[in-house]
Homo-oligomer: A and B are copies of this chain.
Amino acid sequence: MSIIRNFDKKLRSVGLRPTRQRLDICEVLFDRKETFHFTIDDLRKILKTKLHTKISIATIYNTINSFKHKGYIKEISLNSEKTYFDTNVTNHHHFYNETTNELIDFHDSDVEQLKLRKNLPGKKIKSIEVLVKVANK
């Protein structure tokens, strides 16, 4: 299957061996149209119930940390209750719905160009990200 092939290549390209565990996790994370926002527990449940695959919790953490270091996913800061990861590693903005706990990306086209008025001598901007919290009316 070409997806598996692709994940195989993807993993090898950053020096990770394509083990069953890593391929299974790739399938959950990347075999989808939309950006995926998830917690370790979300991932663990999906692996168990949808993929019927058993991966130890240590390996799930190891793999997610490797993927993060390799730039396949990034961590996002929403609140201190849960640690979220995001398969969209670009610099982008989020809507967080506090009623439903849904987290969705929004794109540059959804917001007017953010312009800083402040000068930052001797500093380099690494990222500019907006978090919009909403609730159902």
Residues of A within 8 A of B (CB): 75, 77-80, 83, 95, 97-98, 106, 109-112, 114-118, 120, 122-137
Provide a sorted-by-A list of 16 A–B residue pairs whose CB atoms are within 8 angstroms.
A77-B77, A77-B78, A77-B79, A77-B131, A80-B80, A80-B83, A110-B117, A110-B118, A111-B117, A123-B136, A124-B137, A127-B133, A128-B130, A128-B131, A128-B132, A129-B131
Separation of A115 and B110 alpha carbons in the complex (Å):
9
- Chain A at the B interface: SS class: strand
Asked whether, in the complex, the Cβ of B131 is within 8 Å of the Cβ of A131, the reply is: yes
In Å, the complex CA distance between A118 and B116 comes to 21
A110 to B119, CA, bound (A): 9
**Given A77-B79, A111-B117, A126-B135, 10 new contacts (CB under 8 A):** A77-B80, A110-B116, A116-B132, A120-B134, A123-B135, A124-B134, A124-B137, A125-B132, A127-B131, A127-B133
